[in-house]
Chains A and B, each alone.
Chain A
Amino acid sequence: MEVLKIATAGSVDDGKSTLIGRLLYDTKSLTDDKLEAIERNSKKKGYDYLDFSLATDGLVAEREQGITIDVAHIYFSTKKKSYIIADTPGHVEYTRNMVTGASQAQASIILIDARKGVIEQTYRHFFINNLLRVKHVIVAVNKMDLVDYDQQVFEDIKADFEKLNAQSSYEEQEVTFIPISALKGDNVAQKTDAMSWYTGDSVLDFLEALKPEQEELTAARFPVQTVIRPKKDEFHDYRGYAGKIYGNSLKVGDAVTVLPSLTSSKIKSIEFFDEQYDEAIAGSSVTITLENDINVTRGDILVKSDEVPHSAKTLTASVCWMDGKALIPGAKYEIQHNTNRVLAKIDSIENVISTDYSGEDSSATQLTLNEIGKVNFKLSKNLFYDNYTDNKAGGSFILIDTQSNTTAGVGFIG
């Protein structure tokens, strides 16, 4: 079945968890025992409604403070699709967790409290969705029940948001506005009579109709994860390259080039378990064998010979910083790009970008937790890479702190 990954965004208390809970409830995905637990705990807290955030805020600290700290992944399905929704935190200090959620998503739902309208967190979250190039953004104007389902309130917020959208650098992004009440269920899984002036789809109908992203438009990339060499007689000379396909499909007979060695060969077979195929599409974890016996190891990338990306010992990227220790010029990090790791030195920080679209600060000397900025890197080795806008897999990387081993940041090349 088709799987759709969605991330939520929006400030604290805008109703992200409630919306997810409502989707679960309306698609009958909450089992009786889970529902009873929510009812019991809502009552215990003295609420006269069901607090669905209890279904998603899985950590003790989250329930104690009534906030979402880390991403929770929630699952439900309809007859058409399986959905994976990332319930993300709204607080500024957990922006990195919001970025994590959005990086996996094919669609994003940004919630806005109808009473508050577009606020700073809306800017920030939309900016991140621009930067990450999440194709479909649903702007859900929530808590319409608290503004008498007033069309004017919705239209005003929509107009404000359109101003933001005009500044976005990602023109192909599709932004859809839906007025909802997550609590009451208006326009969540069903259309509501309360807002007859709204002629569009409910949130669920919109998601149901979404077509999967057309990844086929980008160059094929096959980062090699590991080499399969069975120690069995019948497979004595077998060398299979295990990996996942990104971008265009690969076919048997395709002329391919191995990066970084630039040796070329042809695809001899595409295998999945004990079957052979003529072609495999993006997202397939397969094993590929080549016509020639050439040296290929983990970290290498197979590409079509007429689609070789450029290579350099430097790169420039927008970096979203995720570590408490600030990023400063001169520091060394390990870059993990696909399955490859190279040592990198921070050459300079060009600027820190304001996530409210107000511009950038070129005098910045460091990048602190949750900040986004343009960074220049020097690499220890030549790296073959794409621009993120052309190719997501070939144009993104993480930065690993060589002392703490933690994932300190994420970069978008270009």
Chain B
Amino acid sequence: MSKILKTNALESEAIYIFREVVAQFENPVLLFSGGKDSITLVRLAQKAFYPGKIPFPLLHVDTGHNFPETIEFRDKLVEELGLNLIVRHVQDAIDEGKVTEETGKYSSRNMLQTTTLLDAIEEFKFDACIGGARRDEEKARAKERIFSVRDDFGQWDEKNQRPELFDLLNGKIEIGQNVRVFPISNWTELDVWSYIEQEHIEIPSIYFSHKRETFVRDGLIWSASKYVYREEDEEVLERIVRFRTVGDMTCTAAVESDADTIEQIVKEIKVSTISERGARIDDKRSEAAMEKRKQQGYF
């Protein structure tokens, strides 16, 4: 009997995009946050270039406020797959006085990442930055191209994007410009989780149900940590939680959950009545929070 490849359309599309990146750019990099989307990207890149190695480095923009579990996981993955990891720290930009730390109740380093990212792009002369953003996450992201051109300042010109027709991706740019590439643009949160389940991809432990010191603010569950500002009357309690999305501690809220296997997570997502980014504190700043960040060079 002949063995016919059963194709997964989304996986195939992502692999196609990875290969276009390597063919069209001289110096690509994969933006790695340690979250499930960027871990999925690593698996797809592995598949795209097998039996060769992943032909570009990973860049982690470290806010210094990470969940320790994510960093541990990151280092293990890099080690196992023999990847080349570059880490740049937001703390350095703060120390150099390039950016000022936010203060107060909602202070976060999430916005400050942009400066560190743009500096790293300049330092290494990256011409393509591959990211795990998905169009279903947020309505400004729903407007993104697969190859999204940014100017010298990392800015997104959202009203004047290049048309993308058929599979024809145009990555031609001038010196100084760079392109943000989103191979899993067309995946939904459930697609990512189903893929992680199907491929048996390992993910950091914070995605699974665990006990954590937390407090509640604005209806969201925040991690109690020295990095997260807390008012005196915001009471810390141990709760059984997990994370659906992982940014740094100051911008990611937990959800109460007993799901401690991938199968249970998939089940939970299927019946969930809240969107993934409903737990992103950074999106709650305003209706246009994401669009504004993107204009400034965020991914």
Identify the A interface with B (CB < 8 A).
Answer: 2-3, 31-34, 37, 41, 55-61, 63, 69-75, 77, 82, 84, 96-97, 99-100, 103-104, 225-226, 228-232, 235, 238, 240, 242-244, 249, 251, 270-274, 276-281, 283-287, 298, 322, 334, 336, 338-339, 392-393, 396-398, 400, 405-407, 410
Shortest A121–chain B CB gap in Å is: 19
B158 and A70 form a contact (CB under 8 A): yes
B142 and A73 form a contact (CB under 8 A): yes
Shortest B281–chain A CB gap in Å is: 13
B173 within 8 A of A: yes
Residue of B nearest to A223 (CB): B167
> 29 A-B Cβ contacts within 8 A?
A31-B273, A31-B274, A34-B275, A71-B143, A72-B139, A72-B142, A75-B135, A75-B186, A225-B19, A228-B51, A231-B53, A235-B52, A251-B2, A273-B47, A277-B5, A279-B2, A279-B5, A280-B5, A283-B9, A284-B5, A284-B12, A285-B11, A285-B13, A287-B50, A336-B168, A339-B23, A397-B168, A406-B162, A406-B170
Question: Which chain A positions have C-beta within 8 A of B49?
Answer: 228, 242
Q: Quick one: given A59-B143, A59-B158, A280-B5, are A33 and B275 in contact (CB under 8 Å)?
A: yes
- Complex alpha-carbon distance, A405 and B179, angstroms: 12
- Among B162, B164, B166, the residue within 8 A (CB) of A396 is B166
Question: Which chain B positions have C-beta within 8 A of A61?
Answer: 159
Q: Is the interface of B mostly helix, strand, loop or mixed?
A: loop
- Complex alpha-carbon distance, A314 and B114, angstroms: 47
B174 and A405 form a contact (CB under 8 A): yes
B166 and A228 form a contact (CB under 8 A): no
B59 within 8 A of A: no
Shortest B135–chain A CB gap in Å is: 5
Residue of A nearest to B53 (CB): A230
Q: Quick one: given A278-B3, A405-B170, are A242 and B143 in contact (CB under 8 Å)?
A: no
- Complex alpha-carbon distance, A405 and B248, angstroms: 36
Question: Which chain B positions have C-beta within 8 A of A336?
Answer: 168, 170
B135 and A73 form a contact (CB under 8 A): yes
Interface centre among B161, B165, B170 (most CB of A within 10 A): B165
Q: Quick one: given A34-B275, A274-B50, are A281 and B7 in contact (CB under 8 Å)?
A: yes
B258-299 contact mask (Cβ, 8 Å, vs A): 1 or 0: 000000000000001111001000000001100100000000
Q: Quick one: given A34-B275, A400-B170, A407-B170, are A56 and B5 in contact (CB under 8 Å)?
A: no
Query: Total number of A-B contacts with CB less than 8 angstroms?
Result: 184
Question: Which chain B positions have C-beta within 8 A of A58?
Answer: 138-143, 291
Name the interface residues of B5-46: CB closer than 8 Å to any CB of A. 5, 7, 9-13, 15-16, 19-20, 22-23, 46
- Complex alpha-carbon distance, A56 and B251, angstroms: 24
Interface centre among B136, B163, B188 (most CB of A within 10 A): B163
- Among B4, B10, B143, B287, the residue within 8 A (CB) of A280 is B4
B223 within 8 A of A: no
Q: Quick one: given A58-B143, A60-B291, A230-B53, are A298 and B23 in contact (CB under 8 Å)?
A: yes
Question: Which chain A positions have C-beta within 8 A of B7?
Answer: 280-281, 283-285
Interface centre among B10, B46, B273 (most CB of A within 10 A): B273
Q: Is the interface of A mostly helix, strand, loop or mixed?
A: mixed
A73 and B159 form a contact (CB under 8 A): no
Question: Which chain A positions have C-beta within 8 A of B47?
Answer: 272-273
- Complex alpha-carbon distance, A235 and B138, angstroms: 43
Name the interface residues of B183-241: CB closer than 8 Å to any CB of A. 185-186, 188, 190-191
B165 and A100 form a contact (CB under 8 A): yes
Question: Which chain A positions have C-beta within 8 A of B3?
Answer: 276-279
Residue of B nearest to A274 (CB): B50
Question: Which chain A positions have C-beta within 8 A of B20?
Answer: 225, 339
Number of interface residues of B (CB under 8 A): 59
Question: Which chain B positions have C-beta within 8 A of A231?
Answer: 52-53
B149-185 contact mask (Cβ, 8 Å, vs A): 1 or 0: 0000000001101111111101011100000000001
Q: Quick one: given A3-B10, A32-B273, A393-B167, are A226 and B22 in contact (CB under 8 Å)?
A: yes
B163 and A410 form a contact (CB under 8 A): yes
- Among B16, B51, B164, B188, the residue within 8 A (CB) of A75 is B188
Closest 4 CB pairs of A and B: A58-B139, A278-B2, A285-B15, A405-B172
A32 and B51 form a contact (CB under 8 A): no
B163 and A285 form a contact (CB under 8 A): no
B249 within 8 A of A: no
Question: Which chain B positions have C-beta within 8 A of A400?
Answer: 170, 172
B48 within 8 A of A: yes
- Among A75, A249, A398, the residue within 8 A (CB) of B136 is A75
Q: Quick one: given A31-B274, A32-B273, are A279 and B4 in contact (CB under 8 Å)?
A: yes
Residue of B nearest to A399 (CB): B170
B121-154 contact mask (Cβ, 8 Å, vs A): 1 or 0: 0000000000000011011111100000000000
- Among A99, A238, A392, the residue within 8 A (CB) of B163 is A99
Name the interface residues of B44-92: CB closer than 8 Å to any CB of A. 46-53
Shortest A17–chain B CB gap in Å is: 11
- Complex alpha-carbon distance, A56 and B185, angstroms: 16
Q: Quick one: given A228-B52, A277-B4, A279-B3, are A407 and B278 in contact (CB under 8 Å)?
A: no
Question: Which chain A positions have C-beta within 8 A of B139?
Answer: 55-58, 72
B291 and A70 form a contact (CB under 8 A): no
Question: Which chain B positions have C-beta within 8 A of A60?
Answer: 288, 291
- Among B140, B163, B173, the residue within 8 A (CB) of A96 is B163
Shortest A390–chain B CB gap in Å is: 15
Question: Which chain B positions have C-beta within 8 A of A41?
Answer: 287
- Complex alpha-carbon distance, A74 and B186, angstroms: 9
Shortest A222–chain B CB gap in Å is: 12
Question: Which chain A positions have C-beta within 8 A of B13?
Answer: 285
- Among A226, A283, A334, the residue within 8 A (CB) of B12 is A283
- Complex alpha-carbon distance, A34 and B291, angstroms: 17
- Among B12, B46, B51, the residue within 8 A (CB) of A244 is B12
Shortest A100–chain B CB gap in Å is: 4
- Complex alpha-carbon distance, A292 and B25, angstroms: 29
Question: Which chain A positions have C-beta within 8 A of B167?
Answer: 244, 393
Question: Which chain B positions have C-beta within 8 A of A398?
Answer: 163, 165, 168, 170
- Complex alpha-carbon distance, A71 and B291, angstroms: 15
- Complex alpha-carbon distance, A252 and B162, angstroms: 38
- Complex alpha-carbon distance, A406 and B4, angstroms: 39
Question: Which chain B positions have C-beta within 8 A of A32?
Answer: 273-274
Shortest B214–chain A CB gap in Å is: 19
